[in-house]
Amino acid sequence: METNFLNENHKKRDRKLLLFIMFIPCFLIRRVLDNDTWFLLNSGRYVMEHGIPYIEPFSIHENLKFVMQQWLTDVAFWNLYDKFGEQGLFMLVTICYAAIIFLMFNLTISISDRNFMVSFSVTMVSSILIFTYMVTRPTIITLILVLLELNALESYVKSKNYKYLFILPILSLFMINMHAALWPILFILILPYIVGAFQFKFVSFVRDEYNINHLLLSVIAMIIVAFINPYGIDAMTYLINSSGYPYMKKILELQPPYINSIPGALIYFYIFSIVLIYIFYRTGKFKIRYLLLTVGTTYMVLISIRNITYFAICSSFPIAYYLKDIGIRQNNAINNKFIKLRLLLKTLITVALVIGIYFGNINNSTYKNYSDLNSAVDYLLKSDDASNIKLFTGFNDGSLVQFRGIRTYIDPRAEVYFIKQNGKDDIFNEYFDLITGKIYYKDIINKYKFTHMLITKGELLDTYLNRDTDYEIIYENEEYNVYKNLKIQANY
């Protein structure tokens, strides 16, 4: 009896240690604001000061129709930043990351019949896969909403209690206001559960008995409540109006994973592992909804590496179901032998955490990352009033410059510059035609009459302007040249 009691104590301690390990990635997030964060903060500040905009307010372009598709997230981010600075945003990312891990573990523990080790392993793998995207973007909110939806759907399937579905319209309301571009993902993920309610005679699937009408009514309610947003149908169709632009593949995170890169190789290895699990562990328990979730999100990640977040969640949690019968045998000798090893492991984890957090903060600095760009903006603001500057910047640089108060030609809000979104001009394609030399650079300069151009050294435009007598370099640092148009008197 005493031996069994000790074994139970060891098992509880082991589980507490593993639970602690599971949340370690939350403390190792990259503590640097990326270029998207600046337009999120700028947007949140604008809403707090002026209200919801319907005409784009930050670029040099006039009367562009505008949907601030993540306005509520912007407001939340800005208020945190305004009160607590960068650390407030990093704390939010840490909390959201922890919530994502908790919800993932709760999902896997439920469908694996409470198999702790399988749930722990699956959750760890998925949390590592999404680690790169645990930054100050709406994605951290979106993943929480997605996991809440999956937890609710699995609880409904398991219990047949339709009350679990009451949360779905609430999730739809939050998503349409916090990240409208990804609002359709809620319906994409519910579709496999609708299909799973049917009986397929030609394939041996395990069918869960549940009422499809409850799901369909939930979908209708989700659509109805989504109209409660400042932009109505425009927010709901945001993703549709943001498709069909080949130049989007110029953006690194929208490119497919390449097997000759480390991230790409890991993704393909993980896909191969999933295939093996489906082959060897699916016997007698194959579920159509899990297959559809896996195949669908695998397709998504193969199109764009940014979709790894949804792939990591939706292809991983079904694995907990297929591996639920796998167990780890324990005996007294092993438990006693590894008491010291547990202590050593705890020590190593603590040391690794301290080192990781320390060097993460030392080597990552928002100020350091943007020092050259901020220096160039400082010079422009000292030399002229922001209202007199009509500035060209590169795609990635525009958001910080706008946050500092200068209007620019373009910024990382790619969809804002699609003609299908703004209803006026195809600025996004024009920009990429310009920087790749497909259109004559002076045609664009004459069209917009830029007073200044902030160009990354070594780019094609830098080469042209260096030899253009109409422009002179008025400021330069290690990364940028700032050109002034000598023919135009700054009066913007």
With 80 as the cut, is the pLDDT of residue 207 above it? no
Q: pLDDT by residue (tens digit) across 221-275?
A: 999 999 999 999 999 999 988 877 777 777 777 788 888 888 888 888 888 888 8
Token pair for 110: 């439920």
Q: What pLDDT score was predicted for residue 2? A: 43
Q: Would the pLDDT of 193 be above 60?
A: yes
- Phi-psi group of 458: left, alpha or beta (phi > 0 → left; psi -120 to 50 → alpha; rest → beta): left
338 compared with 208, residue with greater pLDDT:
208
Mean pLDDT of the 176-199 span: 93
pLDDT at 178: 97
pLDDT of residue 8: 55
Cα(119)–Cα(100) distance, integer angstroms: 14
Kind and range of the H or E run holding 392: strand 391-392
Percent of the chain with pLDDT over 90: 62
pLDDT tens digit sequence for 40-66 = 999 999 999 999 999 999 999 999 999
pLDDT-derived band at 351 (thresholds 50, 70, 90) equals: low
The predicted pLDDT at position 55 comes to 96
Q: Mean pLDDT across the chain, nearest whole number?
A: 87
Cβ 460 vs Cβ 435: under 8 Å: yes
Q: How many CB atoms lie within 10 A of CB 161?
A: 11
pLDDT of residue 242: 85
Phi and psi torsions of 283, nearest 5°:
-50, 125
**For residue 371, what are the contacts with CB-CB under 8 A and spacing of at least 6?**
none
Q: Give the per-residue pLDDT at 45.
A: 97
- Of the pLDDT bands very low, low, confident and very high (cuts 50, 70, 90), residue 492 is very low
